[in-house]
Amino acid sequence: MSKRYIIYAIIALSILASIAFLFQNNYKRASLILNGKNIGIIDNISSIDKAIEIANKKIKEINSEFFFDPTIKTTDVYSFKFDLDKYELSDIIYSELTPLTNAWVVNKNGKYIAALKDRDDALDALSNFKSSFLRDKNQIVKSIDFIEEVEILYEPIGVNKIMTKDEFIDYLHESIKDTIISNRPEDGLTKYNGYNEGYVKFGDGFDVLIKDELDEKIILHTSTIFNFDETLDKGESIVEREGQDGLIARKSENAYINNRIVYTKVLKENIIREPISQIIRVGDRSLLSKLRFKWPATGYITSKYGPRYDGFHRGLDIGSGLGANILASAAGEVIHAGYSGSYGYCVFIRHRDGYETRYAHLLKIEVDVGDRVSAGDIVGKMGSSGNSTGAHLHFEILKDGETLDPEDEL
């Protein structure tokens, strides 16, 4: 190869290198991706910061606390053309992005829940929500707090996520609607923290745990004893003795989730006044054919049949001394004698006409399955086994599998 051709080749390569250098430095662009969307090519990367600055100046004219802080991904490209300049990009930021503001963000277990502009509003809402579960002026609160970890942080958040104090309080109350609390192990929920009486399935809410001591006066409702008197005409009745409610003073230690009890322990209990049963003689010859039930224990009624604080109470609680005799309420056959979940040690007796009686929380069982018993026979001793907080008899009467109010049948 001649010396002339070598010189020509060197000159050509130099020209190509110069063209490449000029192209790289004068036509280097940035391809932009905003919120996962490719929005075009800008003239140079430095224009991105200027576009954000222009968009922020515009939004601060509306509210000085608002700002944009977008994350824009870039990819280097080389092109003679570009779609965007700093003004066009600022218009996209302004129109397509939600402006931010610094606010107090409420997190639960590290997860965003809500945001409020005022820290005191956030704290007041949380405090008012917790206080709404306090039950009684005689309640000595030992602790009240959220079960999950709740924290408040000052950080940027979209202005569309800001709540008022009232909106946040409404949210807190709505948040616990999916939490299920039961005092019945047969409902298939999980026992909470080893507490005997509380079975819980948590939702996504701000559940509140309260521990307290409670001094209260409990009415021991009087009962009515109806004595059939065939010497009286049908529909005629005579009150032989007026009844009077009893009263008991109780000090207890308790734990609640969202105002539903999950644990209670009686610390002290004194009977102020024994209840006196009302006695009425009634005349009705049709009662001769009806199955009659006798009181299964002597003592006082501590809880009646029907709704109460922990759900529907399906029987009658009769309190007396530990080891007191428990008697068959009517003649029948023993169909269960043993331990059964929340009933503890218990006896079930089947009677005629589809009736069944149940005697729960026994200390000792005195009969076996298959035994025939008469009304007044001893079937067990009063205790506090199973889901019980003190010596008493939980007594149920069922007709064709459905519970009845025992006081209507005794």
- Taking alpha carbons only, the member of 300, 310, 309, 329 closest to residue 390 is 300
Measured distance between the N- and C-terminal CA atoms of the chain, rounded to whole angstroms: 127
- pLDDT value of position 390: 83
Looking at residue 169, its pLDDT comes to 94
pLDDT of residue 22: 44
Q: How many residues are present in the chain?
A: 410
DSSP 230-268: TTSPTT-EEEEE--B-EEEEEEEEEEEETTEEEEEEEEE
- What mean pLDDT is predicted for residues 347-365? 94
Lowest mean pLDDT among 33-42, 137-146, 215-224, 277-286: 277-286
* pLDDT value of position 346: 95
Amino acid identity of residue 321, one-letter, is: G
Residues paired with residue 248 on neighbouring β-strands, in sequence order: 218, 271
Position 283 confidence tier, pLDDT thresholds 50, 70, 90: confident
Those residues whose C-beta lies under 8 Å from the C-beta of residue 4, and which sit 6 or more positions away, are none
pLDDT digits (tens, 9 = 90+) for 147-157: 999 999 999 99
Give the model's pLDDT for residue 198: 76
The confidence score (pLDDT) of residue 24 equals 46
CA proximity to 377, closest of 326, 317, 315, 323: 326
Helices 119-131 and 165-175, axial angle in degrees (round to 10): 40
Rounded to whole angstroms, the Cα distance separating 276 from 224 reads: 9
Q: Enumerate residues 6+ apart whose C-beta is below 8 A from 351.
A: 291, 330, 331, 332, 357
Quote the tokens at residue 311.
């759900």
Tell me the range of 138-152, 271-285, 299-313 where mean pLDDT is highest. Answer: 138-152
Q: Of all residues in the chain, what percent carry a pLDDT higher than 90? A: 41
Question: What residues contact residue 235 under an 8 Å CB cut-off, 6+ apart?
Answer: 283, 284
Q: How far apart are CA 405 and CA 410, in angstroms?
A: 9
pLDDT at res. 54: 92
Upper half-sphere CA count for residue 213 (Cβ side, 13 Å): 5
Overall pTM > 0.75:
no
Question: How are the residues of the chain apportioned to helix, strand and coil, as percentages rounded to the nearest 5?
Answer: 25, 45, 35
Residue 165 in contact with residue 227, Cβ under 8 Å? no
CA 324 to centroid of chain Cα atoms: 38
CB atoms within 10 A of CB 86: 20
Q: Are 189 and 180 in contact (CB under 8 A)?
A: yes
Most confident segment among 176-190, 287-301, 386-400? 386-400
Judged against a pLDDT cut of 60, whether residue 285 lies above it is answered with no
Q: How confident is the model at residue 396 (pLDDT cuts 50, 70, 90)?
A: very high
Least confident of 6-15, 17-26, 104-113, 186-195: 17-26
Say if residue 259's pLDDT is above 70: yes
Per-residue DSSP letter, 320: -
Q: For residue 297, give both structure tokens.
A: 């224990």
- Average pLDDT over the chain reads 85
Print burial letters for 375-403: b (CB count within 10 Å at least 16), e (below 16).
bebebbbbbbbbbbbebbbbbbbbeeeeb
In this predicted structure, the answer to whether residue 83 has a pLDDT above a threshold of 60 is yes
Q: Mean of the pLDDT values across residues 192-221?
A: 83
Distance CA 329, CA 349 (A): 9
Q: Give the integer Cα–Cα distance in Å for 215 and 135.
A: 12
Tens of pLDDT, residue by residue over 309-332, are 777 889 999 998 888 999 999 999
pLDDT higher than threshold 70 for residue 30: yes
Give the closest residue to 274 by CA, choosing from 242, 243, 240, 300.
300
Per-residue pLDDT at 11: 57
Predicted local confidence at residue 19, as pLDDT: 44
Give how far Cα 341 sits from Cα of 181, 348, 388, 394, Å: 18, 14, 11, 14
Identify the band that residue 335 occupies on the pLDDT scale cut at 50, 70 and 90. Answer: very high
The tens digit of pLDDT for each residue in 3-25 reads 666 655 555 555 554 444 444 44
Tokens of 32: 């932009």
- pLDDT score of 408 more than 70: yes
Binning pLDDT at 50, 70 and 90, where does residue 124 land? Answer: very high
Q: Is the pLDDT of residue 289 over 70?
A: no
Predicted local confidence at residue 197, as pLDDT: 67
Distance CA(392)–CA(343), nearest Å, equals 12
More confident residue, 206 or 23: 206
Identify which of 351, 334, 339 has the alpha carbon closest to the alpha carbon of residue 385.
339
Classify 294 as helix, strand or coil.
Answer: coil
Cβ neighbours of residue 68 closer than 8 Å, sequence gap 6 or more: 52, 55, 56, 59, 93, 94, 97, 99, 100
